[in-house]
Amino acid sequence: MGLLALSIYSGYVTKKYAGTETVQELNLKPVGVIILGLGMSYLWNYLTWVFFGGNYIWSDWYAWFLGHTMDLWIMTIPLVGVPLLFERKTEPNP
């Protein structure tokens, strides 16, 4: 459900900012929300395996989400999303 909502929001943001001419005109806060949400979903899957899973209860659910869709590098994505979320727009000096 969360990834579906994230996908719908990503489509909305893409449609809203499709006509942006330069990167300076782009509002990076929605991009930060999308990146942070994606990274947190992978982090959630990994932490549920660490705390509730293990070799003794390795099931198809854990094998599917952890073995097929995640490398450990993807858990660093929230480190990219947080600065974008708190980015401040500076006004150009005339």
- Tell me: pLDDT of 59 over 80: no
- pLDDT-based confidence at 15, cuts 50/70/90? very high
Q: What is the pLDDT of residue 28?
A: 87
- Tell me: pLDDT of 70 over 60: no
Distance CA 72, CA 93 (A): 43
CA 61 to the chain's CA centroid: 21
3-state secondary structure of 21: coil
As a whole number, mean pLDDT of residues 22-40 equals 88
All residues at 6 or more sequence positions from 26 whose CB lies less than 8 Å from its CB, including other chains:
17, 20
Distance CA 12, CA 17 (A): 9
As a whole number, mean pLDDT of residues 31-35 equals 91
The pTM of the full predicted model, rounded to 2 decimals, is 0.72
As a whole number, mean pLDDT of residues 1-17 equals 91
